[in-house]
Structure 1
């Protein structure tokens, strides 16, 4: 049982400043939807150019593009994860941080330049940062953390993301703060504070010892591990475990080899199902459009949106404390089945136009968010780092990022027309189906990774293509 050291805590907190920025720019775009500040900026810019107001369908499309372009940029950014992680190390987070700085500057400059294209370009660049950092963060955190704290610390990435969403909603959503016609552009630049702080702190934090081992840097590896653990005895034991993992793996894996190797096929399918179940749960639709969902039925929709952010943070903290107690598998199963029930009830409530049931819809939204953050939310981002060995881990994290951000992009673009024009309230049945499928697959195929070394987990997938996971001796699937 390794203890928490100041260097380890500083390294992890510095790394999660990246996800804080991402959460902030997720929350602050949703918050002004109620008072239509940014939409009015679009309309004003269009009128100045064409001497007429922007058509409603064009405004809806432009708003959907502005929200979803970040996720599309993140999808593209995911393609660079393997190159950066293998070439410049796991804390190459510092390199990609410049995308966040440039993106925030462009977004805040859009009002002065009277160009919504600048705003969209800024969100696209920030999206590239999102795709890279949300893979590099869990990868770095998992590899610098001791086995007994690995899951809890990886959850801090989601805690920081949820906290960023709440801060974004708070700062942008209330007219008394920065969610005003005059200050909204300044609101978009506030992510520069954690970005610059990350440059100051993470620069002095150690590189991942596992990355250094993979690149034959023996002296630096031991030095980094000693700084992280603070005890020579712990260092020697962990070095042996790392060397054992390295002895079972080759030095590098190409993308083609990654998808062809038999030992990777089962983990790839597991990661695919968990991430798609997580993204198609309905959570991201609520985070992006909760103000609009509430404003049709409530006078003070912006305060309910802040409630969404508060519940989001609360249950990521609950997941942080439960991760090393309950385990990944149990939290995922609980989360997916709860999400399915919430979506079924939301379909019923939304279909029955009874004013008395409006408060029940708010309760169901809060319950769905709680269920998501209890398991699927945080675990979907880091489970790939636990299921794959050292050479395959960067590609696995890039694959995770592509699935997550691809799902977010599609949902952000399609949810408004699905809810308003095509499916209506029955859109939640699609989310329910995805959650039930993910629950069933997780029950049958996902091993428990809590408290197990990377090499121990990877050993289960070596050898034959189809391993009956629940029948393997010592494979802790159901405990």
Structure 2
């Protein structure tokens, strides 16, 4: 048994924090990405039924499709709004309290979903999706922030990957519960869409038993006694003086330095490489081609001889592959290192996309090519889940100090939601004009991001935030002159003038 895994098993409260924060956190985001596929036909019927009974209108197919597209995309609009609010909420009210009250938003959305069919109102689904989006936008950043701050330095990578694991779990549960044997039927689909309300209720009932983030208590509130109490609950009743001293060092550096806004983060030249790293990795996360691979997987499985009525089970296989790979990634990340997972993941994805383009081109000419394409799809999902999917989410919490952390997460999650919305709108057009050659476009972004991380981002494993900032300084000090601290300049950790 590896040392990090043994250390995690010796910290049952951290394990509880992983599951409790995850089920009402990024699980919600993953579930909503996949859940709308199964009941789409029944929801479109409800749209027609609502308009006929209320307005006496019989909608054209294109009108129903337009309303359906808005029902799907309004989730991203709510998510973007939630992301923009998350930084301010976490700075003022703390991580745990924001997660708790955020569940009330999801429960409200679940009630609307559950009653939408009875009320014959697709507008209730629309409002419910919007509320779900707000909930997911807030939880996507706060769940990550809370877990990374609760984990000891040696477990930060392993715990951070669980954020992506719960996204994968949400996707898989959305696919699984959506099959006709479970909730994907004409009578039960409202229960499927309201499922997130029940997971939010579960977190609301269990989260009060967990402590607040120790780093938030010390660095934002100046509550050393509360911080030490939270550490003992999370990490066990033993000596944590080394970790406390490391946080106190950052606390001393932050004296007189308030939490910075997004604009201040963008304008601060001393952290330009950290900001650029967030921009590159989060943009590539949406443009890496994972959605395109899932889109073409049905055609590939069908060409490989899988019956149409069995395609849903093949789709479950892709979701299960992503979930299991994410779990394995959490077990090896502390040994492999985050930088290597990034580079290996993106370069492996780029190579796989190149081969997949070739096999799809030859699919109708060579009999065994569909099987090769099917294998490549699973290989691509493996590289994605074992690298970028798990390492990207906690990145802002690792490379930004406390004064810039909320703004960093706000930028990262805004990029994520904006990219998801634009990709949802533009992807059908890209496929229409490029077909499977669209993989070459995604290949470019994967290759570019992999090379960027290799040359410009230091390894963050087992390093404090201050040490990571020094590593950024060492890596880029040859090409730029760093500003010097003067006596009248407040001691801000982002100037890299730290005592380690």
Which of 203, 206, 228 lines up with 1:222 in the alignment?
Answer: 228
Aligned 1:224-303 pairs, distance under 5 A: 224-234=230-240, 236-249=241-254, 250-286=257-293, 289=295, 299=308, 300-303=310-313
**Aligned position for 2:487:** none
**Aligned position for 1:97:** 103
Which of 419, 427, 436 lines up with 1:425 in the alignment?
Answer: 436
Per-residue Cα deviation, 1:257-284 (whole angstroms, up to 9, x for no partner): 2112222211000111011111101213
Per-residue Cα deviation, 1:197-235 (whole angstroms, up to 9, x for no partner): 11111112111111111211222112111211223422x
Which of 349, 363, 369 lines up with 2:381 in the alignment?
Answer: 369
**Aligned position for 2:397:** 385
Matched, 1:324 2:334: yes
Using the TM superposition, give the Cα deviation of residue 459 of structure 1 relative to its aligned residue in structure 2, in angstroms. 3.0
Matched, 1:126 2:135: no
Structure 1 Cα separation of the partners of residues 204 and 60 of structure 2: 43
**Aligned position for 1:152:** 158
Structure 2 Cα separation of the partners of residues 409 and 301 of structure 1: 26
Higher mean C-alpha deviation, range 105-114 or range 306-315: 105-114
Structure 2 Cα separation of the partners of residues 396 and 170 of structure 1: 34
Per-residue Cα deviation, 1:96-139 (whole angstroms, up to 9, x for no partner): 11111112222222222222222122111111111111111111
Using the TM superposition, give the Cα deviation of residue 53 of structure 1 relative to its aligned residue in structure 2, in angstroms. 5.2
Matched, 1:193 2:198: yes
CA contact (8 A) 1:86 1:394 kept: yes
**Aligned position for 1:84:** 89
CA contact (8 A) 1:294 1:304 kept: no
**Gap change, CA 1:193 and 1:216, over 3 Å in 2:** same
Alignment RMSD (CA, Å): 2.6
CA contact (8 A) 1:27 1:168 kept: yes
Structure 2 Cα separation of the partners of residues 373 and 358 of structure 1: 23
CA contact (8 A) 2:78 2:131 kept: yes
Structure 1 Cα separation of the partners of residues 478 and 454 of structure 2: 13
Please state whether the residue corresponding to 1:392 is helix, strand or coil: helix
Please state whether the residue corresponding to 2:38 is helix, strand or coil: helix
**Aligned position for 2:407:** 395
**Aligned position for 1:477:** none
Structure 2 Cα separation of the partners of residues 369 and 41 of structure 1: 35
Structure 1 unaligned residues grouped into runs of 5+: 473-479
What is the TM-score of this pair, normalised by structure 1?
0.90
Which of 199, 207, 212 lines up with 1:207 in the alignment?
Answer: 212
Using the TM superposition, give the Cα deviation of residue 462 of structure 1 relative to its aligned residue in structure 2, in angstroms. 6.2
Structure 2 Cα separation of the partners of residues 106 and 293 of structure 1: 35
Structure 1 Cα separation of the partners of residues 370 and 52 of structure 2: 37
Matched, 1:354 2:364: yes
What is the TM-score of this pair, normalised by structure 2?
0.86
Per-residue Cα deviation, 1:427-456 (whole angstroms, up to 9, x for no partner): 222111111111111111111001111221
**Gap change, CA 1:196 and 1:431, over 3 Å in 2:** same
**Gap change, CA 1:57 and 1:291, over 3 Å in 2:** farther
Structure 2 Cα separation of the partners of residues 462 and 425 of structure 1: 41
Which of 318, 321, 325 lines up with 1:315 in the alignment?
Answer: 325
Using the TM superposition, give the Cα deviation of residue 19 of structure 1 relative to its aligned residue in structure 2, in angstroms. 1.8
Structure 2 Cα separation of the partners of residues 7 and 389 of structure 1: 25
Using the TM superposition, give the Cα deviation of residue 183 of structure 1 relative to its aligned residue in structure 2, in angstroms. 0.9
Structure 2 Cα separation of the partners of residues 62 and 293 of structure 1: 26
Using the TM superposition, give the Cα deviation of residue 463 of structure 1 relative to its aligned residue in structure 2, in angstroms. 10
Which of 8, 28, 31 lines up with 2:35 in the alignment?
Answer: 28
Using the TM superposition, give the Cα deviation of residue 44 of structure 1 relative to its aligned residue in structure 2, in angstroms. 3.9
Using the TM superposition, give the Cα deviation of residue 425 of structure 1 relative to its aligned residue in structure 2, in angstroms. 1.9
**Gap change, CA 1:64 and 1:308, over 3 Å in 2:** farther
CA contact (8 A) 1:291 1:301 kept: no
Higher mean C-alpha deviation, range 246-255 or range 14-23: 246-255
